[in-house]
Amino acid sequence: MASEQRPFRVLGIQQVAIGGTDKARMKTLWVDMLGLEQTGTFQSERENVDEDILAMGKGAMKVEVDIMQPMDIDKKPAVHTTPLNHIGLWIDDLPRAVEWLTAKGVRFAPGGIRPGAAGYDITFLHPKSNEEFPIAGEGVLIELVQAPADVIAALG
């Protein structure tokens, strides 16, 4: 399987998402102490998330650090229960990647391709496999993010 040509490329890390119960405490570390810049916020009742989007680096080399807390600590998804919530990877052709990976038995989380918090199309690989889809993140939630043209040009 490794010798087969895949119709997409992983270009680099787009984001690291960190969950906790107190976004303000995380912000003290990441913004006040480490100097990351806050570039946005995102809230979604459906995804039970209140997040601040932070950034390090510039342009195509920018990497997001998303600090997240649940909007309701008693509801799911529980973004705070896994401190390293997920890792996001830049993908050069997200629709082709999803089609190819699905055909190869990779399990995706519900929701399909959709706009993400930072405005790029995203989808998630499920952290756990099942009988129908035997390949998954082995406990890690992995976000695939459609890279914009400047990132593809810089990293591709």
Mean pLDDT computed over 144-155: 94
Task: Report pLDDT digits (tens) over 30-43.
Answer: 999 889 999 999 99
Structural domain includes residue 2 = no
What pLDDT does residue 75 have?
Answer: 96
Distances (CA, A) of 5 to 8, 9, 100, 133, 140: 9, 10, 11, 21, 25
Assigned domain for 111 exists: yes
- pLDDT digits over 82-126, tens only? 888 899 999 999 999 999 999 999 999 999 999 999 999 999 999
pTM of structure: 0.83
Nearest to 110 by CA among 134, 93, 128: 128
User: In the chain, how many domains are there?
Assistant: 1
Q: Does residue 20 form part of some domain?
A: yes
101 within domain boundaries: yes
Specify if 4 maps to a domain.
Answer: no
Contact, 54 vs 38, CB < 8 A?
A: yes
Residue 3: per-residue pLDDT: 65
Domain annotation covers residue 131: yes
How deeply is 134 buried, as exposed, middle or buried, from its count of CB atoms within 10 A (0-12, 13-18, 19+)? exposed
User: Across residues 47-54, what is the average pLDDT?
Assistant: 96
Domain boundaries, position 106: 10-155
Give domain status of residue 128, yes or no: yes
Token pair of 40, please? Answer: 């946005």
Strands, E assignment, 24-115: 37-44, 49-56, 63-69, 84-91, 114-115
What pLDDT, in 10s, does the model give residues 56-75? 988 888 999 999 999 999 99
**Element (DSSP H or E) covering residue 12:** strand 10-19
CATH number at residue 113: 3.10.180.10
Which residues, including other chains, have CB under 8 Å from residue 103's CB and lie 6 or more apart?
none
Give the integer Cα–Cα distance in Å for 134 and 3. Answer: 20
Region 14-32 average pLDDT: 93
Q: Calculate the dihedral angle through the C-alpha atoms of 33, 58, 40, 143, rounding to the nearest 10 degrees.
A: -100
More confident residue, 82 or 21: 21
126 occurs within a structural domain: yes
pLDDT at 103: 94
- pLDDT score for 45: 95
Q: How far apart are CA 123 and CA 120, in angstroms?
A: 10
